[in-house]
Structure 1
Amino acid sequence: MRPSSNRAMHAALSGWLVGMLAVGPAAAQTSLPLRLTPRAVPTAAPSSVTVVAIPLDAASRTEAARLAYWAEQSVARSGRLELVRLSEALDAKGKAAREAKAAEGAEAMKEGQRAYDELDTQKALQQFEAAARAFEASDMSRNFGELSRARVMKAASQVANGENAAAQLEIRAVLAVDPRAQFSPNFFPPDEMAFVEKERKAALAGSSGALTVRTEPVPAQVYVDGHFKGVSPVELKGLTAADHFVTVMAPGYVMEQSRAREGDTALTLPPSESVRSLQSISDRVTRKSEELERDVALRELGTLAGVSQVLALLVRGGTGTAPLQVTGLRLEVSDGHNLAYAVGAVPAGEAMATGSDAFLSSLVGTDATRLAGNKPVTHFASEGGSNRKTMGYVMMATGVALLAGGIYFGMEASSKEDDFRRAPQTSARAKDFRDTGKTYALVADIGLLTGLVSAGLGSYFAFSGGGGGGSSSSKSTPAPAPAPRRSRSTPPPAKTEPQKDPLAMPPPPKGTKPMNDSLPMPPPPPASKATSESKPAPESKPAPAAKATPEPKPAPAAPAPEPVVVPAKAADTRRSREDDAAQREEELRKRREEVERQRRELDERRKKEEAEANAKRQRDEEDKRKREDDSKRKDEEKKRPSLDEDDLRNY
């Protein structure tokens, strides 16, 4: 490189260095700080979504409510969607009241902490007490931790005021309900910290209580001390001897909260104002689980809940150890676009927590792209059949897997039977072979039966019905709900012959189609009418009075428009729906009465057993007291000195 070019490069570098050194003082004089990293672009607010689990049969009601909870957890973990609990969305007044109490408690905590830092411990004690009362009236499934923290700070304020006895009582009460509550040495002296650890160990050592929670009229999610415990009825063990906070909630009903100790607790959930709308939507989805009506009803539910998306889980099965068959759908409320769709099997019971994670993650992880022209994607088995086939293939694969498992366990059971026969019959090893063989045989029978059922249903779904795509956009317009109603009322203009029938029946028969017999000729039509329609036969008598030509030109009577049957069909449809709803309500009432009767019988039986146990206990105590009295009397007789002959001589 030439010297001139070197000098030019050195000068450029020197100027650059001087400019960089001058940036510091110049930036210090400016009001805006120098940003060396690009400014973060604000992201759009996440879409709100609510989760609804609809059981398609009575056996899956409890498991559907359990699956709804794990779906809500999956939505919360995704971080891309804002979860709105359906039970809270349909009870806006109750939610607002609980949130107001939570905000009141948070403000009281802030004021109490400020007063405590300023050494005004009397005011801090009052504020922490107010915060505890407010949190207790809020949603305890969310704010139980805040309640524990408020009570801990209340105890800290009492220690600062010199009220050590009251502080120890508060500490003992907090640890009895929440043995894992945190006490900071910054607020408690060493003596009180030692007392805390002593009471914590005592509370954990005495965790032997049992609590049963039941709800009426529907199964509900149960939270105890802020932790999800399952779907009612729930039996809990290992609880501390204290009054625990029980919270139950179900969509369409007002949240119910109570304090319960050991024993049996029954809570009744009051219905909310939207319970009828939710039941109507659920019934429509159940009846039309694979048709357009399903998405229309779910969009109405999203509008009712005030969210932009609905994650629906249609659950079937769950009897015994068989997995649940679930159809998952996440759609946009605005136009019905299916953002996610999946059909699969989910394990029931306790295994659902981990076994459903992959299925639920597929529903909330990504969004499906729209069709050309920004048209929404929908999935209806009645339009194409690919969804029906997919479900069939899944059920067939599940059935084959269950059959293979049944065959394997059957072979193992046969092997255990051979080992049992070869082993000495009186040995413990033979007993172990026999019990293990019975278990394997039972598992084999269950696997074979459920495998045959699943494979048979899967074959039916997979090979019955035509194919075609399962996606469609022609029926998912922004207002698809009126489409089915228009389709029922539009056919009459296409067939105008019945309106010119000379003799129309005044009361149109239900379920018939008189629109097709427009040629009432006397001799020929009876045979054709006998094959097509049988009820309009009386029209053949007055027909000879009309012209012999089969042409409908005469039209002598004006009341021809009367035989239009479409309104009757609509009325029949509405009447059948009302009858179905009445029948369903009657079945629900009978089921509730049966449950109430069983509960009363259980209560009576339990009371009777308790009375017998008390009587037996009293008898045992009396017998024990008698034995003790007898033993004392004998001991006294033994201790009493006896007079011998030497003593008599002394006298």
Structure 2
Amino acid sequence: MRALVLALLPSLALAASPAPARRVSSLLVPMDPASEANAVQMEGYMNEALGNFSGFTVRKPEELFGLPGDPAAQSALERARKGYSESAAAFDKKEYDEAEAKVRATLKELNGAPSSMRGCSPLCESLALYAALLHLRGDVEEAKLVLIDLIAVSPTFELNPKRFSRDFIALRVQVATGRTSQLRGSATVKSRPAGARVYVDGELAGHTPVTIPALAVGKHLLRIERPGFRQFGQLMEVTPDDVEVSTELVPTASYKAYDAQLDRVASEVSRGIPQANGVAGLGKSMGLERAMVGTVKASGEGSELILGYYDLRNGKKLGSRRVVLQGDEFGQLKQEMERMVNQMVNTSEGGGEKVVRSSDPLDNRGGTEDWGAEDRGGRTRSEEKKKKKVDDPLDGVSGTEDW
């Protein structure tokens, strides 16, 4: 009998294990160039909303398509790190001619490395070393120009007093408080396709196309990345005049395979086909079980969105919406996307929405229902099922009911 019980224990443990989470994502097809950036933004908001559901594992675009770096840029960065180390060693030995030759070569390598850089090192160190060498040989004005670049890319970079002289450190302070360092310019960054994330000096500055105002004159580290495309970077020179950077991103093989299926998928979504074989094929190729799949196109001052919630194992449409969104001037787009996702998933997964029949379409509506009753991740429904008697008379009251 004991042996029988032990033999049954693994089976019982297996039966009690929770069901695996469904792999889900959001996939929007831009129908015109003007909608490319909006599609990326909407996908991000919908993935955030899907992440509220405990039974889902959200696969982000980076996981689906990859976010590869540039091998040439990575090699240039490795050579630059080695070059800086050698030039710094020569500088410390007071072998200034050798140090200058090596740091010049290092800065040349760094021109091709920005897409692989996540901080200003070794660029900042190399600029500081080169400026110090120019200062030592008496080229003070040239040294000031290099320090302007250093201050632009990293205003808080500190010079090592054990390596650099007091006079050079004082020159850096003089440049930082001078008129030239106070000048500002703007940069407009574009990419094809649009919607790529833009990083300036390691900080997210927006999505292409974007204009970044009030940048300090001098050099800045620019990096552009979009899932499914090779990362792009460059040392961007900002002047008091407006500058523009435009690039065509290089797609990965996985993104090309995805892109080849989009025409059929867009046709099925826009026609509202209940059993979409193209959508099912897309899900199979990407390893997804559920997805928000839709199309976006410019419509007046807003965007027309046709969105479907699909079971990707068979292409069955579980829910759909067609809306016109009026931009994101006041940050309302995120709430709109979250509300649509919550309603479609809750309804399709067995929640349902309460419908009150009335001749007055506004009957029993105060206009604030969504503020206190939005069901994020299906939590409201699950909490209602487990609701117990409590002593607090205000439990479950949001304060907006009477309104």
Sort the TM-score into its range (normalised by shorter chain). Answer: 0.5 to 0.7
Once structures 1 and 2 are overlaid, which stretch shifts more, 60-69 or 227-236? 60-69
Q: Which residue of 2 aligns with 1:123?
A: 98
Q: Which residue of 2 aligns with 1:103?
A: 78
Distance 1:174 1:294 in 2: 51
Shift of 1:234: 0.9
Distance 1:174 1:310 in 2: 50
Change (3 A) 1:198 1:159: closer
Query: Number of aligned pairs?
Result: 302
Distance 2:330 2:156 in 1: 27
Q: Which residue of 2 aligns with 1:213?
A: 189
Amino acid at match of 2:90: A
How much is the aligned-residue C-alpha RMSD, in angstroms? Answer: 5.6
Q: Which residue of 2 aligns with 1:267?
A: 246
Question: Which structure carries more helix by proportion?
Answer: 1
Q: Which residue of 2 aligns with 1:546?
A: none
Runs of 5+ unmatched residues, structure 1: 1-50, 74-80, 303-308, 336-346, 360-380, 408-446, 459-651
Summarize deviations over 1:182-212 as a string: whole Å, max 9, x none: 3233333233222222322336973442332
Distance 1:113 1:95 in 2: 27
CA contact (8 A) 2:26 2:292 kept: yes
Change (3 A) 1:71 1:229: farther
Distance 1:140 1:199 in 2: 28
Distance 1:70 1:189 in 2: 52
Does residue 44 of structure 2 align to residue 65 of structure 1?
no
CA contact (8 A) 1:87 1:254 kept: no
Shift of 1:230: 1.2
CA contact (8 A) 2:258 2:282 kept: no
CA contact (8 A) 1:135 1:143 kept: no
Shift of 1:68: 6.8
Secondary structure of residue in 2 paired with 1:145: coil
Does residue 117 of structure 2 align to residue 142 of structure 1?
yes
CA contact (8 A) 2:25 2:47 kept: no
Amino acid at match of 2:126: A
Question: Which structure carries more strand by proportion?
Answer: 2
Distance 1:273 1:237 in 2: 32
Summarize deviations over 1:529-585 as a string: whole Å, max 9, x none: xxxxxxxxxxxxxxxxxxxxxxxxxxxxxxxxxxxxxxxxxxxxxxxxxxxxxxxxx
Q: Which residue of 1 aligns with 2:260?
A: 280
Q: Which residue of 2 aligns with 1:184?
A: 160
Q: Which residue of 2 aligns with 1:55?
A: 28
Change (3 A) 1:217 1:271: same
Amino acid at match of 2:87: G
Shift of 1:279: 0.9
Q: Which residue of 1 aligns with 2:282?
A: 297
Q: Which residue of 2 aligns with 1:222?
A: 198
Aligned residue among 110, 114, 118 for 2:89: 114
Shift of 1:112: 2.8
Change (3 A) 1:245 1:142: closer
Distance 1:327 1:165 in 2: 62
Summarize deviations over 1:383-429 as a string: whole Å, max 9, x none: xx8663579759x9xxx9xx75579xxxxxxxxxxxxxxxxxxxxxx
Distance 2:216 2:261 in 1: 42
Shift of 1:228: 2.1
CA contact (8 A) 1:152 1:183 kept: yes
Amino acid at match of 1:388: S
Shift of 1:269: 0.3
Distance 1:328 1:115 in 2: 63
Amino acid at match of 2:27: I
- How does 1:495-510 map onto structure 2 within 5 Å? none
After TM superposition, the score normalised by the length of structure 2 is 0.53
CA contact (8 A) 1:256 1:269 kept: no
After TM superposition, the score normalised by the length of structure 1 is 0.36
Amino acid at match of 1:267: S
Amino acid at match of 2:257: S
CA contact (8 A) 2:185 2:216 kept: yes
Distance 1:139 1:284 in 2: 38
Shift of 1:179: 3.1
Shift of 1:145: 0.8
Larger gyration radius, structure 1 or structure 2: 1
CA contact (8 A) 2:223 2:232 kept: yes
Distance 2:307 2:208 in 1: 21
Distance 2:126 2:60 in 1: 27
Distance 1:247 1:169 in 2: 23
Runs of 5+ unmatched residues, structure 2: 1-23, 49-57, 270-274, 314-325, 339-343, 357-361, 376-403
CA contact (8 A) 1:255 1:269 kept: no
Q: Which residue of 2 aligns with 1:153?
A: 129
Instruction: Tell me which of the two structures has the higher relative contact order, counting C-alpha pairs closer than 8 angstroms and 6 or more residues apart.
Output: 2
Shift of 1:144: 5.1
Aligned residue among 175, 178, 189 for 1:199: 175
CA contact (8 A) 2:198 2:204 kept: yes
Shift of 1:310: 11
Amino acid at match of 1:96: P
Distance 1:310 1:200 in 2: 56
Change (3 A) 1:134 1:293: same
Distance 1:311 1:209 in 2: 46
Aligned residue among 191, 208, 213 for 1:232: 208
Distance 2:191 2:230 in 1: 12
Distance 2:110 2:60 in 1: 22
Shift of 1:134: 2.0
CA contact (8 A) 2:199 2:224 kept: yes
Shift of 1:152: 1.9
Distance 1:156 1:72 in 2: 49
Q: Which residue of 2 aligns with 1:388?
A: 348
